Each structure stands twice: as C-alpha cells, then as structure tokens.
Amino acid sequence: MRRLGTVLVVVLLSALGLAGCARGNAAGGGGPWGRTFLSQSASRPLVPGTQIELRFSDGKVGFRAGCNSISGAARIDSGRLVVSEVESTAMGCEPQRGEQDNWFTTFLQAGPELRLEGADLVLEGGGTTINFVDRTVAEPDAQLVGPEWTVDTLVDGQTSGSVPAGVRAYLTFTIDGKVTGSGGCNSLTGTYTVDTETITFTAMASTRKACSEAGIVESKVLHVLQGTVQFRIEASHLTLTAADGTGLRLTAGRVTPSPS
C-alpha cells in the first residue's frame, strides 16, 4: 500500500506539471499573450510604407500586414505558433498590399517557430525570418489631447473601408474639454468628457456647407460623435466605436499646443 501511494503521488504531481505546461501555452499564461508587436525587419522585403502589426489576445492572434485586419485562433505548440480559423475584413487593397496580406497569412498558417526574449519576438519558417518588438517599446501610446487626429478608416460592424482620397476629416481634443475639427466637409465643434474606456461627446455642432462625396464620410463621422462611445489608443492610432458597431480609426498627426 505504501508503494502504491507513492506511485499515485508521483502520477498526480506529473499530471499537475503537464497541466501547468498546457496553461503556459494558452492565452493568459505569459509569453506573447496580451501584447502587440510591430515588425522591425524581415528577410523578405515588405511593401514600402508598411509594417506588420501582430496582436496576441485570449487564444487569438490578430494582424495587419498591409491592408486588411485579419485574425484567427492561435496557440503555441512545441515552440511554434499555430494559427487556424482565419477571418479577414474586406477592404479594397492595392495589389502589392493585398499580396502581402496573403503572404503573411500563409506564413502564419504554416506554423513558424516563435522565439520571445523580453520585448523582442522572432518568427521564423520556410526560409523567412521576421523580427518584431513590443509595441509599447517601439511606439508608446499617443496622448488624446494635443495631436490632430485624422480619420483614415470607417468601420461598420465587421467591415471597414478607407476614407476616399482628397477627403480630410480630423479631430483635435483640448485639455479644457473642447473638441474641434472637420467631418470632411464642414467644421465641427463640441465638448467631451473622458472616462477610462469611453468618451462622451456633447453639444456637437457643424457648419452647413453642401457636400458631395465628402458628405458620405461626414455623415458617418457625425453619427459616431453622438453621446458615449468606446475609445482605445494604441501607439499613434485612436479608435472610436459607437454602440451600434460603427466606428472611426484615426491617426495622430501634428500636435496642437494646449491653451495657456
């Protein structure tokens, strides 16, 4: 009986050890989970002006490799990143950027080796090596107040599209709770308050010039800037999302000095 009890303890400890390893490979078990990485170099040249963004969260991986936002189920198995069930937005892409989306998606689905040391992450497979660095190191988050935030993407639920060329919509937030800008055609003014994850817009008003193509963009901008919306800042990008799923993605530009 004593020997049997010893065996049972050994088996139980082994099982707990294996469970701990399994948890370490799942989301929330450390490693890359809950972090975002930006490409710094790649053995295959990227399309000029593009950078790969790789996000790990809750058993999933999301990425932007040139045009669309793409995501899939993910796990780490024996040092390799395993990605499946891939889904993508359907933005119209320049051919080179669309091809880069397809190439990087295929690269991930092939199960590249993953190495992580501190802020540095390396993916390697099929003769290709891509070096990433943690986004918080490469690009610290911008502040809401100060930058001129230009709208570059319009989001409608699971689909998104770029703002048409020649249309410029932007917002600027000041420290005294005012927001100004343009919806793409007319000037906008209003006030705002910020909570941890939300912005509440009030007293929004605009001029009333007649608009053509810019009017389509402006109507979506004005729709989002009503009441309380979710907001998130990652590096130089601000995302505003209304309760019905419509939203705006904005990029920080020049910084406007705060009023004295």
Residue 121 has pLDDT above 60, yes or no: yes
Q: Residue 237 corresponds to which tokens in the numbers above?
A: 């990008």
As a whole number of angstroms, the distance between CA 225 and CA 204 comes to 8
Residue 13 has pLDDT above 80, yes or no: no
Residue 72 confidence class, pLDDT cut points 50, 70, 90: very high
Q: What is the pLDDT of residues 145-183, one digit of tens each?
A: 999 999 999 998 878 888 988 999 999 999 999 999 999
Q: Residue 242 corresponds to which tokens in the numbers above?
A: 């209304």
Kindly give, in sequence order, each residue whose CB lies less than 8 Å from that of residue 47, ignoring residues fewer than 6 positions away. 66, 96, 97, 100
Tell me whether the CATH fold assigned to 25-138 matches the one assigned to 147-255: yes
Annotated domain spans of the chain: 25-138, 147-255
State in Å, rounded, how far the first CA of the chain is from the last one: 81
How high is the mean pLDDT of the chain?
A: 87
Provide, rounded to the nearest whole percent, the portion of the chain with pLDDT above 70: 87
CATH code matching the domain that covers 25-138, chosen among 2.40.128.270, 3.90.1200.10, 3.40.50.720, 2.40.30.10: 2.40.128.270
Q: What is the reported pTM?
A: 0.58
Give 163's DSSP letter.
P
Q: What is the pLDDT of residues 185-227, one digit of tens each?
A: 999 999 999 999 999 999 999 999 988 879 999 999 999 999 9
Q: Residue 112 corresponds to which tokens in the numbers above?
A: 């590249």
The answer regarding whether domain 147-255 maps to CATH 2.40.128.270 reads yes
Q: Which residues are 240's β-sheet partners?
A: 231, 248
